[in-house]
Structure 1
Amino acid sequence: MNVENSDYHPTLRFGKMTGRRFLVGMILAFGVIFAVNGFFIFKALSTFDGIEIDDAYQRGRAYNKDLAAMEAQRALGWKAELSDPVTMGGVTHFAARFADRDGVPLQGLKIKVTFWRPVSTGDDRSEAMREVAPGRYEADFKLAHEGNWIVRIAAQGAGGKYAEEMRAFVKQAN
């Protein structure tokens, strides 16, 4: 194809390129980029604020106290067997067995269990566990969703305090 004799002029395809057309083209191109970026920023900031607790700064400063509490728990020697949550009829059943370092069941503990949903806010559920046998404690929860939960258990007795956290997958049993 001989370019000199051709009627095809790519620069004239949409009309003559002027400064005004170039400016409008650049404004439109960057406008689309800014609009898409603005949408993504809005979605990122409006879906999850990233703060799990209200007093994150104070909890960070108290880290040495947390380490001391973990060491005291280790020295206490309490052992806990935490069951996997079982859901039937919309009620999730959770059980735990507590014993001292010699395997003797721990009785009379005050135990609080919290099911915490890591992917959303407002679905947390806390219950006090009841002692159903020496060293065996149980609680029932009405959880809003199936799926991944974090279970936090805190026990307190005459000998000291115990705390543990575990991940649990909750699903309706057949």
Structure 2
Amino acid sequence: MPTPAPHSEQQATRPLRERKLTGRMVLLCLIGFFGTIAAVNAFMIRAALSTSGGAEKISSYRAGLNFARDRDAAKAQKRLNWQVDIALPRIAGTQAAEHQGCASERHACAAKGPVEARVTNMNGQPVAGLDATLILIHPTDSRRDQYIAMVDKGDGTYSTEIDTTAGRWSIDLDLDRQGEQMFRSSSRVVLN
């Protein structure tokens, strides 16, 4: 026969202490609840602002004006019939397929090194005397975009150096003469 524990009778006869809900307890619960909510919100806001550049929204009116301007510039560019060849840096010891350029990871375009652009007119003559800007556009974070001025070598060749991170990029080449955009070339590339 089991023997009862000596303290079990004392525990059974001791009354439980009754807790009263006081104004102080309600105040502490409310402060704790809303303090937790505020702390989580502060953390989430900080995380969101530090990881995303945010969407850049322009008005519909301005977007329409930009579209009309870009359409007119594309027509003028087509009339010029210029040819632009951009040579991106290659990784040493590799050879990319010339017809595909740097369109996928298997090609050997480097994220660091010299870039050259050769510009010729419809007759194959070099076009010199332009202000050339190479624009590296990151697809998801506009804070990583880079605007790099290119040096005119005088023979229709423009050069610069890039030093960026590996990944997918859009590359724009803007050619201006006296502040007027003459030509824009856009490509999507993968830099390794």
> How would you bin the TM-score normalised by the shorter chain?
0.5 to 0.7
Match of 1:150 in 2: 170
Gaps of 5+ in 2: 1-10, 93-109
From 122, 130, 149, give the equivalent of 2:153: 130
Matches within 5 A, 1:31-70: 31-46=35-50, 49-50=53-54, 60=63, 62-63=65-66, 64-70=68-74
1:77/1:123 Cα in 2 relative to 1: closer, same or farther (>3 Å)? closer
TM-fit CA distance, 1:141 = 0.5
Q: TM-score, normalised by structure 2?
A: 0.55
Secondary structure in structure 2 of the residue aligned to 1:153: strand
- Once the two structures are superposed, residues 26-59 of structure 1 have per-residue CA deviations (whole angstroms, 9 ceiling, x without a partner) of 331222122111222233335555477xxx6796
From 139, 150, 168, give the equivalent of 2:159: 139
One-letter amino acid of the counterpart of residue 21, structure 2: T
1:69/1:156 Cα in 2 relative to 1: closer, same or farther (>3 Å)? same
Contact 2:132–2:158, Cα closer than 8 Å, also in 1: no
Gaps of 5+ in 1: 1-6
Root mean square deviation, CA, Å: 4.0
TM-fit CA distance, 1:105 = 2.0
TM-fit CA distance, 1:117 = 5.0
Separation (CA, whole Å) in 2 of partners of 1:146 and 1:154:
22
Secondary structure in structure 2 of the residue aligned to 1:86: coil
Separation (CA, whole Å) in 1 of partners of 2:116 and 2:191:
14
Count matched residues: 150
Match of 2:133 in 1: 113
Identical columns (%): 21
Q: TM-score, normalised by structure 1?
A: 0.59
Contact 1:96–1:138, Cα closer than 8 Å, also in 2: yes
From 66, 72, 85, give the equivalent of 2:76: 72
Kindly indicate whether residue 186 of structure 2 is the aligned counterpart of residue 165 of structure 1: yes
Matches within 5 A, 1:61-100: 62-63=65-66, 64-86=68-90, 91-100=112-121
TM-fit CA distance, 1:93 = 2.2
Separation (CA, whole Å) in 2 of partners of 1:87 and 1:51:
34
